[in-house]
């Protein structure tokens, strides 16, 4: 049976990109594999949240995991900071992670560009922490969106390097996984790039219908095609890409045809898109609220998950320490 690990940073609420890029696959995989899904709260510290924000975000993401259908009795659902074995493995991996390769990482370069005043060591070593998250359970598959591809490549590098250095075949090579399909990238509503929490272009699973409608109606579009069967400009393609995941194939085909015959009215497309997103997120919103109100349930889930996850993590750390040479006399 394959071991599956994945997580989402606790930097606020989950958006459609998180759902279609990762969460949907987590949920599909939980019954056929040994699955570990966690909330990456250590990772969120790179942006210095207040204690209240950190606490609130972890709770929100846990409630959202559960509302979307992650079953804590089936999968192991836990909070990263409940496993001291993860920072221990992170420390060990950092000893064999080189400045050059960490500095070359695209997400690090992007952070330097966007936040030149907060280039902390946590950002630089983000890929080793992520590798520790994954290999702490000796995972085979990691369901993630396209933006995490390079991090997975680095995870394989660190895992292989450990095996080579100590002449063992201990860590498997984990792969980014999407059921044999291309990894997913859900675009934002601002005309370019991906949907992201920090980009201000996201629709959240917990958004109410009016918020969704306003966001979609304001999404970037253009004045429409002037010739039939032309490729769609990026902003328009983005709306179609979101439509592809939330609307029926018939709806998608209808608007695609309108576009190709230059009869498209973006107001109509956006109205339909907002309705379809709302229909999709409606059941989640109510469940998220109900679960958020139940602290006892959330605490029990976190407690049970931590216990199960630590069994696997402590076994790995025990073996890794032995391999490295931390041994009793
Ligand atoms: P994060 O928290 O940014 O995103 C969580 C997951 O959602 C996916 N995702 C998207 N997929 C498609 N389109 C989008 N617009 C989009 N936005 C986000 C991400 O690919 C990811 O799968 N470093 C990770 C969290 C992490 C992790 C791990 C993941 C920490 N340790 C170990 C897997 C395994 C991150 O920041 O994802």
- Sequential pLDDT tens for the chain (329 residues): 899 999 999 998 999 999 999 999 999 999 999 999 999 999 999 999 999 999 999 999 999 999 999 999 999 999 999 999 999 999 999 999 999 999 999 999 999 999 999 999 999 999 999 999 999 999 999 999 999 999 999 999 999 999 999 999 999 999 999 999 999 999 999 988 899 987 789 999 999 999 999 999 999 999 999 999 999 999 999 999 999 999 999 999 999 999 999 999 999 999 999 999 999 999 999 999 999 999 999 999 999 999 999 999 999 999 999 999 999 99
> How much is the pLDDT for 228?
95
Please provide residue 174's backbone torsions phi and psi, each rounded to the nearest 5 degrees: -75, 140
User: What pLDDT, on the 0 to 100 scale, is given for residue 199?
Assistant: 79
Is 7 touching ligand 1 by the criterion CB < 6 Å?
yes
Q: Is the CB of 145 under 6 A from ligand 1?
A: yes
pLDDT at 163: 98
**Helix, strand or coil for residue 40?**
strand
Q: CB of 202 closer than 6 A to ligand 1?
A: no
**Ligand 1 atom at minimum distance from 22 CA:** 22
Is residue 216 within 8 Å of 210, Cβ to Cβ?
no
126 CA from centroid of ligand 1 (Å): 13
- Indicate which atom in ligand 1 lies nearest the CA of residue 194: 15
Q: Determine the residue of 76, 89, 135, 145 to mutate for testing ligand 1's pocket, defined as the one with the most ligand atoms within 8 A of the Cβ atom.
A: 145
Catalytic positions, written as ranges:
111, 194, 197
C-alpha 145 – ligand 1 centre gap (Å): 6
pTM: 0.97
Residue 125 has a CB neighbour count (10 Å cut-off) of 21
Smallest CA-to-CA distance from 240 within 227, 230, 225, 255 is with: 255
CB of 8 closer than 6 angstroms to any ligand 1 atom: yes
Residue 143 CA to ligand 1 centre (angstroms): 9
**Would you state the pLDDT for residue 139?**
98
Q: Tell me, using a 6 A CB cutoff, whether residue 133 lines ligand 1.
A: yes
β-pairing, 141-142 vs 76-79, is unpaired
Q: What are phi and psi of 40, to 5 degrees?
A: -85, 80
Mutate to test the pocket of ligand 1, among 144, 182, 184, 196 (most ligand atoms within 8 A of CB): 144
Contact 309, 85 (CB under 8 A): no
CA torsion sign, 22 to 28 to 29 to 30?
A: positive
Distance CA 151, CA 157 (A): 10
**Domains of the chain as residue ranges with CATH:** 3-184+295-324 (3.40.50.620), 209-289 (1.10.240.10)
Pocket test for ligand 1, best of 10, 14, 22 (most atoms within 8 A of CB): 22
Distance of CA 253 from the midpoint of ligand 1 (Å): 30
Question: How far is ligand 1, taken at its centre, from the CA of residue 14, in Å?
Answer: 10
60 CA to centre of ligand 1 in angstroms: 16
185 in ligand 1 pocket by Cβ < 6 Å?
A: yes
Q: What is the atom index within ligand 1 of the atom nearest the CA of 145?
A: 20
- Establish whether residue 186 lines the binding site of ligand 1, counting it when its CB lies within 6 angstroms of any ligand atom: yes
């Amino acid at each position: 049976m394959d071991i599956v690990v994945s997580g989402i940073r606790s930097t606020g609420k989950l958006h459609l990109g998180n759902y279609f890029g990762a969460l949907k696959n987590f949920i599909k995989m939980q019954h056929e594999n040994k699955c570990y899904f966690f909330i990456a709260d250590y990772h969120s510290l790179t942006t210095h949240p207040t204690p209240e924000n950190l606490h609130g975000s972890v709770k929100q993401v846990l409630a959202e995991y559960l509302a979307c259908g992650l079953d804590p009795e089936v999968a192991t659902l836990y909070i990263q900071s409940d496993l001291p074995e993860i920072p221990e493995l992170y420390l060990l991996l950092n000893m064999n992670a080189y400045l050059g390769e960490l500095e070359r990482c695209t997400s690090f370069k992007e952070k330097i560009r966007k936040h030149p005043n907060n280039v902390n060591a946590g950002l630089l070593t983000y890929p080793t922490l992520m590798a520790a998250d994954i290999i702490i359970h000796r995972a085979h598959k990691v369901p993630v969106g396209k933006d995490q591809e390079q991090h997975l490549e680095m995870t394989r590098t660190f895992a292989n390097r450990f095996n080579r250095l100590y002449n063992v075949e201990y860590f498997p090579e984990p792969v980014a996984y999407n059921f044999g399909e291309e990894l997913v990238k859900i675009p934002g509503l601002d005309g370019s790039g991906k949907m992201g929490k920090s980009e201000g272009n996201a629709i959240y699973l917990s958004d109410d219908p009016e918020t969704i409608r306003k966001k979609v109606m304001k999404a970037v579009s253009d004045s429409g095609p002037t010739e039939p069967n032309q490729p769609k400009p990026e902003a328009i393609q983005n709306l179609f890409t979101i439509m592809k995941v939330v609307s029926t194939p018939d709806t998608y085909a209808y608007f695609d045809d309108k576009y190709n015959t230059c009869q498209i009215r973006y107001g109509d497309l956006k109205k339909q898109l907002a309705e379809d997103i709302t229909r999709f997120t409606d059941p989640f919103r109510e469940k998220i609220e109900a679960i958020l109100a139940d602290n006892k349930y959330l605490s029990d889930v976190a407690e049970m998950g931590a216990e199960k996850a630590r069994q696997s993590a402590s076994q790995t750390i025990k073996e890794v320490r032995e391999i490295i040479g931390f041994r009793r006399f």
